[in-house]
Structure 1
Amino acid sequence: MQLLLKRDFFTTESTTGVLSIDGVFQCFVLEDVDRKLEAGGAKIYGQTAIPRGIYPLTVTYSPRFKKPLPLLSGVKGFDGIRIHCGNSAADTEGCLLVGNARWLNKVGGSRIAYDAIFTKIKAALDRKEAVTLEIK
């Protein structure tokens, strides 16, 4: 399964984009400020977006959230980058927040969007499919 995040709106506070799974729109994504880094570029914890590239996704237990969440691997110098619920850049701490609606520096309907994509990611992993996230 391939998730594709196309970033399309950039402010001094956040970056938003559109997430698709296997070519089908799923939701919007909010993350920290995009510095237009390619894979391997230096991400700053809690301040900047994940560098562009392709990252494997797994589902592991999050001690912070006390439940299983999708986890991105291979982000240079960083562990624990997850996809989770939230509404503003203050909620990201460098992670990807999903929502069914978006406004300037915010997403809404986060829990509904998260539940939908988590179900798909978990099902693919349970079928032993590779799951990746490409960020453009």
Structure 2
Amino acid sequence: MKLVLNRKFKSTSYTIGDLFIDGKFFCNTIEDTVRELPATCPDTTRGRSCTCKEKVYAQTAIPAGTYRITLEYSPKYKREMPYLHDVPHFLGILIHSGNTETDSAGCIIVGKNTVKGKVLESKVTFQKLYSLLEGHDDITIQIV
């Protein structure tokens, strides 16, 4: 299963995108601000938090690229969540529900972008996404 996140609006505080599943539009997304980051991060390759000066904690979107997704147990959410693997500069990146970029620390929030700077109907959208991902072993997301 292939997810593609097309970032379409980049503001100074948030990023709005469109999420496609196997080529078909699924929902909108909201993330933190896209910032230029070094190609690699020596900290996160060692399992530590990023200390790169370009990254602003909880205000920076993950780098564009292709990442493997698995459903992993999240202690915060107390359930399995879509987890993105090997994201440079970031640890613990999930796809989850929320309404604005303040609900994210680099994670991807799904919903409907019917209000400027927000996604709505996020819990319902997340549950639909989770149901589609459940039972699949080979899931990737390409962020462009």
Q: Which residue of 2 aligns with 1:133?
A: 141
User: Comparing 34-43 with 95-104, which one deviates more in the overlay?
Assistant: 34-43
* Identity, % of aligned positions: 40
2:106 pairs with one of 90, 94, 103: 94
Q: How does 1:1-136 map to 2 (within 5 A)?
A: 1-35=1-35, 40=40, 43-125=55-137, 130-136=138-144
**Residues 44 and 55 of structure 1, relative CA distance in 2, 3 Å threshold:** farther
User: SS of 2:35's equivalent?
Assistant: coil
User: SS of 1:100's equivalent?
Assistant: strand
**Contact 2:40–2:88 (Cα < 8 Å) also in 1:** yes
Amino acid at match of 1:25: F
Normalising to structure 2: TM-score of the pair? 0.84
- Which blocks of at least 5 consecutive residues in structure 1 are unaligned? none
User: SS of 1:111's equivalent?
Assistant: helix
Normalising to structure 1: TM-score of the pair? 0.89
Q: Shift of the alpha carbon at 1:110? A: 0.2
- Which blocks of at least 5 consecutive residues in structure 2 are unaligned? 42-51
**Contact 1:100–1:112 (Cα < 8 Å) also in 2:** no
Render the CA deviation track for 1:50-105: whole Å, top value 9, x for unaligned.
Answer: 10100000011101111110000011132210000000111011111000334322
Question: Looking at CA atoms only, which structure, 1 or 2, has the larger radius of gyration?
Answer: 2
* C-alpha RMSD of matched pairs (Å): 1.7
